[in-house]
Amino acid sequence: MGDSVLYKFESGTLDLLLGKPLQDRKKGEVTAPNGLGSVVFTPSEEAFLVVSAVFDDRYSLDLLDPKIPGELESIKVQGIVHNGIGELEGITHLKGTHYLVQYNIDGCSWLYDGYYNENKKILTLKYSLTGEGDLSNGVLEFVYYDKKDDRFIISFSTATTPTQIYTIEGKQRDLIVMHTNEMLLGINENLLSSGEDASFNSYDGTRISARLYRPSKELGFEGQRPIVYYVHGGPQGQERPDFAWFSMPLIEFLTLRGFAVFVPNVRGSTGYGLDYTKQVDRDWGGKDRLDHIHAMTKVLPKDKDLDVKRAAVVGRSYGGYMALMLAGRHPEFWSAACDMFGPYDLATFMDRIPETWKPYFKVAVGDPSTKDGLKFLEERSPRTYLGELSCPMLVIQGRNDPRVDARESEDLVNTLKGEGKDIKLLVFEDEGHDVLKYENRATCYNAITDFFSKYLKP
């Protein structure tokens, strides 16, 4: 991840500008990842503005002169108004000296309208289009610049609102017009939870970005709220306040039923720098698991509105794997657990994935063809620890899953049932590595929420 090569193709000629091609590397040679992202022309079209991780692990804007391939020069960016931790996601050339710059800050989208001074090598961000005001605490799904009318058309979602289409107009970018009115039928937006920042410093001082979704006060719940601990998939992914994503409607549904939902983006997540993302490589269930345990033991107990003695863990894909690891290795924390198509045995999981995936997983997870590699996979497999499971568990699986074969969940359930554990399996015969069909999602959301309600009693 982050090891990229950039070429310039002009008049039938291909010139290398940045990076080292695989065919030019010696056997076993390792090159520092450059994290190359967006690449656009400068106004003169004599050089390139690129987003990379060469000078800043959380990405920066750099200048690449094609006359000096392989060398980047850091560009000054001024006018930033956001706070928090995140990444520079990209830059788009609009016209002339006019550019659009996008950041992901603690999961929320910040979009800036700016201008580049090519002589001074300074990019000035003049207006924030999203990130504050009416378009804040959400995720930018798409943006288009209308050159003729000098306006932006965007689609934007938050934790409480489905994706809406807006235009941002006016010389001061202060006229925002909403062109759609998507809504949750039968549910007042005031009953939903917009979430709050709940970031914390983990056991080794690493800052972990997180959000906490509490039930709306208008729902009338009293007393401490039970916790649903939600773990995202990937593992190199990120949970964001985005109602268009699978998990956000589930999180909101849980808050409507009286649960507080804690959603951390532990190390290994995207959105917080290349090094942060790569910390999960060859460390599945390692430091990231300890981040979760620190949250459960040192962070959440400090919130007097939460009842950590009534806690459930849930996750999908890698999040399902982590839910299994947490339920097996740390059973004392959980009153219930839900695994959604998570690997149970890393050795059989890697044997069952598509052949084209196996080379990558050998590098990113472990090599089952070696003695040490197989031993490591066993040490990091939920199967090794789930004999200690002490709470009821719900397992959800798509029959046609190409990533986590359904046999993983079947092996899990059959083994633990044989040991007398309280475990149930819900299989969607017409789903793959997700739950996409509307009817199935309704069944899935209700199954999880009813299951947790039974044992956590909100």
pLDDT band at 179 (very low <50, low <70, confident <90, very high): very high
Span 367-394, pLDDT tens digits: 999 999 999 999 999 999 999 999 999 9
- Which helix H or strand E contains 276, and what residues bound it? helix 274-278
User: For 189-456, which CATH superfamily applies?
Assistant: Alpha/Beta hydrolase fold, catalytic domain (3.40.50.1820)
Residues of the chain with CATH 3.40.50.1820: 189-456
The fold of the 6-178 domain, in CATH, is Lipocalin (2.40.128)
- Which candidate, 131, 127, 152, places its Cα nearest to that of 142? 152
> In what order do the strands lie in the sheet containing 138-146?
138-146, 151-158, 164-169, 175-178
Residues of the chain with CATH 2.40.128: 6-178
**For 19, left (φ over 0), alpha (ψ -120 to 50), or beta?**
left
- Tracing tokens 């990130």 back to the chain, one arrives at 131
CB-based burial of residue 208 (10 Å sphere; 0-12 exposed, 13-18 middle, 19+ buried)? buried
How many Å apart are CA 256 and CA 445, to the nearest integer? 12
For the ranges 4-18, 265-279, 370-384, which has the lowest average pLDDT?
Answer: 4-18
How many Å apart are CA 116 and CA 125, to the nearest integer? 9
**For 121, left (φ over 0), alpha (ψ -120 to 50), or beta?**
left
Number of H helices, E strands in the chain: 9, 24
Contact criterion met (CB below 8 Å) for 41 and 48: yes
Instruction: Quote the tokens at residue 215.
Output: 């039930």
pTM over 0.95: no
- Tracing tokens 């196996």 back to the chain, one arrives at 358
Residue 28 has pLDDT above 90, yes or no: no
**For 236, left (φ over 0), alpha (ψ -120 to 50), or beta?**
beta
C-alpha angle with apex 365: 364 to 371, nearest 5 degrees? 125
For residue 253, the model assigns a pLDDT of: 96
Instruction: Return the number of other C-beta atoms located less than 10 Å from residue 81's C-beta.
Output: 11
Residue 183 has pLDDT above 90, yes or no: no
